[in-house]
Homo-oligomer: A and B are copies of this chain.
Amino acid sequence: MPRNTAHIADGRYDLAEEPALVRFAALGLDGAAAATGLADAVARAYPVRARRELTSEGRAIAEPRLLLRGWAARVRLLPDGRRQFMSFLVPGDLIGMNAQPQPLAAATVIAVTDVVACRPPSIDDAPALADTYAVSAALDEAYLLAQITRLGRLNAQERIADLLLELHERLTLNGMAQGDAFELPLTQEVLADALGLTSVHVNRMVQQARRDGDLQWKGGRVTLTDPVALARKIGRIPPRVSAMQEAAAAVTPTA
C-alpha cells in the first residue's frame, strides 16, 4: 500500500494522533469536544487517488471536506497548459468552508498524493467547532496572502525557503513534523508550479540551498537545518496562530 494511502481504520490507528485532531486542538479546540465529532467524521472517511479531483471548478456547490490523510492542492489550469497551485492542503485542513454558502470554487482541488477525506464534523454536533473553523478560515486566507507575497516580491531562493517554512509550520501544527524534519511528497515540478518557477530552476536553487547548508532533501523527506535562522535570513513573517485564537475568542464572548 503506497505511502499516504493507509486507510484510517487499520490496526494501529490512534485517534489522539489524528492530524486533524491535533490541528484542531492547536487552533484552540477543547480535546474532548473535538474527539466526539471527529470520531464520527473519521468513520465516514473515504479515499481519493492521487491526481483525482476532490472538487472541481465551476461545479455548482462544493460540499465542504476535511482532509485526513495525504496532501491535496488548490490548482488552476490555464488554457495554454500552464498551471498554478494556489495552496497546498495537508491533513487537518478544511476544504471549501470559507465563503459561507461557498458557491463556486474558483479553483480545482486535486489530490496530490493518495488521500483520505471526510465530511467535516458538524457545528451542530459540537458548537465549539465554530471558533475552530473560523480560525482555520482566517489562517487559510493568511496563507493565500502569503502566497501572493511570495510570488510577487520574493526571488526564487526566498520563495522556496518561505514555502518550506510555511509547510513545516503547518505540519508541526498537525503533529506530522518530526522536529525540523518532515515528509514532503511533492515533486520539484509541482513545487515549481506553486512557486511560479520552472522545475529546472527550482532544482538549481534547491541544490544551492543544500550547499548553503540550509536544508537536506532526499527521498521525499526534508530537514531544515535551522528554521529560525532560515526565517530570519529571508525576512519571513509567519501568520501567528496564537494571536488569531485570541482575536477569535474576543469576538465570541464566553457567555
The residues of A with any CB-CB pair to B shorter than 8 Å are 58, 60-61, 74, 76, 78-80, 82-84, 86, 98-104, 106-107, 131, 134-135, 137-138, 141-142, 144-149, 151-153, 193-196, 235, 237, 239-240, 243-244, 246-248, 250-252
Question: Can you name 6 A-B pairs with beta carbons within 8 Å?
Answer: A80-B235, A101-B251, A102-B138, A104-B244, A148-B148, A152-B193
**Option from B78, B101, B151, B250 in Cβ contact (under 8 Å) with A60:** B250
Provide the residues of chain B in CB contact with A147, threshold 8 Å: 148
**Max chain B CB contacts within 10 Å: which of A100, A239, A244, A248?**
A100
**Option from B60, B137, B144 in Cβ contact (under 8 Å) with A100:** B137
Provide the residues of chain B in CB contact with A102, threshold 8 Å: 138
Query: CB-nearest residue of chain B relative to A85?
Result: B152
Task: Please tell me if the beta carbons of A104 and B144 are within 8 angstroms of each other in the complex.
Answer: no
Closest Cβ–Cβ distance, residue A157 to chain B (whole Å): 14
